[in-house]
Amino acid sequence: MGILAHVDAGKTTLTERLLHLAGVIDEPGSVDSGTTQTDSLALERRRGITIKSAVVAFTLDDLVVNVIDTPGHPDFIAEVERVLGVLDGCVLVLSAVEGVQPQTRILMRALQRLGVPTLLFVNKIDRVGADVDAVLEAVRTRLTPAILPMGTAAGLGARSAAFTAYADHDRAFRERETVALAEHDDALLEAWLDGEDRTPDQLMSLVAEQTRAGDLHPVFAGSAATGAGVPELVAGIARLLPGPHDECVGGEPSGRVFKVDRGAAGEKVAYVRMFAGTLRARQRVELTGGRSGKVSGVEVFRDGRWTRAAEAHAGQVARLLGLAAVRVGDGFGTSARAEDHHFPPPTLEASVEACDPAQRPALRVALAQLADQDPLIAARTDENGRPTVSLYGRVQQEVIASTLADEHGIEVEFSEASVLHVERLRRVGTSIERFNTPTNPYWATIGLRLAPAAPGSGVVFDLDVPLRDLPLFLFTSVEHFTAVMERHVARALSRGPSGWEVTDCRVTLTETAYASWDGPPSQRGPLPTALDFRKLVPVVVRQAVADATTQVCEPVLMVSLEVPTRDAPQLLTLLGRWGTELTGQTSSGDLTRIDARLLAAHLHDLQHQLPDLTGGEGVLESRFDGYQPVRGRGPTRRR
């Protein structure tokens, strides 16, 4: 089960209250004092926000509920979406004072898109200004009309505020329940119009059925701080959200890694959701992308802490030790064959410098470890040896800096972030370097043809040479040779003539040969090594790229803005000033939706100005929409 919310709506406090109610902890921790179970990072405790997803568990009778506390800040939306793919259900937390906030709407849309069964919890009814009825109305108009309030809140704004669930025999509640269910059940609607009544148990069974299908969202209210309404929410979790799937217990073990952390000794710890079968310690697993590893240990969350276990079963969340090659998003079993989730690429990059030059080697190692935990930061080293990282926003940059300082003892400084561009080939380019010629100091021959490919296709590598010409005495198989050449080509294409990555091209090996003692004396020479091929590939790639020439392209986003109608004109003025292409505009009630195609270079300015332009009510969603050629002369990447 996931717990999601806009920043500061109280999801971490709710997690603490759930653990306390289940007897896992003696007293709920405090976000303000930094004593919560899930916010373990020093920066999380200082800022009072969740940055990394965390896992805890509690028991409801014989049902084990694994709770994943997720980030609420938009810089970490990729972290949230990784978690959504492994959930059975979710509790979306709203504040009874602030109501439906911008990130609430983004999260709800993601939950609806992925079909995650969701309960709503209106928190902070004890706060001054709490108005549950206003929140429910905002939910109907801005999130979904398919809600069913499960009780009433009284004494709002006081410490004594309470939530009382509707009784099954409450006639008025049963009528509202029937009306809500009938929206998605024609048979029930027909029976109701004919005067037929369903029993309370039958109606609640239908509520559970529609909740699990994502058609209905029961709403609870209360205060995570005082505990009001939390027992009723817990009862709803047990009664309404999907339970374990018994039919998945047998068969091949299958699971997906949604988080990678580091243990005390620096070893990788993989958090996995088990979907089927049983995974045991010392068992080998085949991971996504052809990587594999042996599980040296299994841990499950029990009695308030992670403890060693002999095995992990279907439905459990477990920590796996010993998988050195594991990455976030990896699957095994049938999950390894499932379609990968693609996140929009970051559109910023910044170089990182250690304040102490002696820590530069340690910085590169630490960034490589962070990239294992979040591959989207794409830590790499430029041609001058400076590490760079990809970013979604400045809070993420602060998190990386804090993590390097707190966990690795490395103080760093970031350069000013810049927009990430790419280069695309203008036409077909070719190059060949033959051994034993003045321009080729290596004992190998390589010929390459580079051709433009469809946008978004990345780099594709092909062989168009006789197998007898391949230096298979250096490699275990044709597949091994191909994989090694692909890596060399990818490395060579990481910096084009303007310094940006060259992408969306098809690279074909058109000729290869190697020196030997056979043949005429003029061509004789020593046998090559793998180093000859590694050194020669970038030379040939650069020549072929120069022959093809490149065009610098900048990232473009499809953005959807939902703003108060009164504020739409000034927002349209701003977008027009940037030359943004509008693709749609609709109004409904007091809200206007604006769809546009926006250059990524303007996204961060738009994020910064949107709250002021809309009184904090504007919502921005962005989706990567590819790259387009830069007008005029393209920028050169900083060296």
pLDDT digits (tens, 9 = 90+) for 11-33: 888 988 988 888 877 776 555 45
pLDDT for 525: 58
- Selection from 191, 166, 338 nearest residue 257 by Cα: 338
Task: Read off φ and ψ for residue 390, nearest 5 degrees.
Answer: -95, 145
What are the residues facing 608 on neighbouring strands?
A: none
Is the pLDDT score of 2 beyond 90?
A: no
Question: Mean pLDDT score of the chain, rounded to an integer?
Answer: 85
Is the pLDDT score of 296 beyond 50?
A: yes
Q: Which residues contact 258 (CB under 8 A, 6 or more apart)?
A: 53, 68, 82, 83, 85, 86, 271, 272, 273, 328, 329
Question: What are the start-end ranges of the H helices in 296-442?
Answer: 360-373, 394-408
Q: Which residues contact 519 (CB under 8 A, 6 or more apart)?
A: none
Contact indicator for 562, 105 with CB cutoff of 8 Å: yes
Strands (E), 522-575: 550-564
Report, as an integer, the average pLDDT of 371-393: 75
Contact indicator for 306, 328 with CB cutoff of 8 Å: no
pLDDT digits (tens, 9 = 90+) for 317-340: 899 999 988 887 788 887 655 444
Is the pLDDT score of 287 beyond 70?
A: yes
From CA 510, how far away is CA 447, in angstroms rounded?
A: 5
From CA 99, how far away is CA 50, in angstroms rounded?
A: 20
Is the pLDDT score of 228 beyond 80?
A: yes
pLDDT for 72: 46
How much of the chain, in percent, has pLDDT values that exceed 90?
Answer: 45
Q: How many CB atoms lie within 10 A of CB 395?
A: 17
* Local structure of residue 161 (DSSP, 8 states): -
Question: What are the start-end ranges of the H helices in 280-393?
Answer: 360-373
Cα 109 to Cα 81, 143, 354, 402, distances in angstroms = 11, 8, 40, 31
For 15-57, give the DSSP string.
Answer: HHHHHHHTTSSSS---TTTT--SS--SHHHHHHTS--S-EEEE
* Local structure of residue 521 (DSSP, 8 states): G
pLDDT digits (tens, 9 = 90+) for 189-225: 888 778 788 888 999 999 999 999 999 999 999 999 9
Report, as an integer, the average pLDDT of 231-244: 89
**Which residue did the predictor score with more confidence, 301 or 232?**
232
Locate 22 and state its tokens. 């289940």
pLDDT digits (tens, 9 = 90+) for 70-115: 654 454 555 566 677 788 899 999 999 999 987 788 888 888 888 8
Locate 184 and state its tokens. 């998605």
Coarse DSSP helix, strand, coil percentages of the chain, rounded to the nearest 5 percent: 35, 30, 35
Q: Which amino acid is at 357?
A: P
Residue found by looking up tokens 């509790």 in the block: 91
From CA 493, how far away is CA 566, in angstroms rounded?
A: 48
Q: Which residues of 248-273 are buried (b: 16+ CB within 10 A; e: fewer)?
A: eeeeebbbbbbbbbbeeeeebbbbbb
pLDDT band at 149 (very low <50, low <70, confident <90, very high): very high
pLDDT digits (tens, 9 = 90+) for 579-628: 999 999 999 878 899 999 999 889 888 988 998 999 888 888 877 888 99
- Selection from 576, 575, 571 nearest residue 617 by Cα: 571
* Local structure of residue 267 (DSSP, 8 states): -
Is the pLDDT score of 574 beyond 90?
A: yes
pLDDT digits (tens, 9 = 90+) for 495-528: 999 999 999 999 999 999 886 545 555 555 577 8
Contact indicator for 19, 37 with CB cutoff of 8 Å: yes
Can you give the length of the chain in residues? Answer: 639
Q: Which amino acid is at 180?
A: A
pLDDT for 301: 82
pTM: 0.70
pLDDT digits (tens, 9 = 90+) for 434-473: 988 899 999 899 999 999 999 988 899 999 999 888 888 8
In which element (H, E) is residue 140 found?
helix 132-142
pLDDT for 49: 43
* Local structure of residue 410 (DSSP, 8 states): -
- Selection from 406, 401, 417 nearest residue 355 by Cα: 401
pLDDT for 594: 95
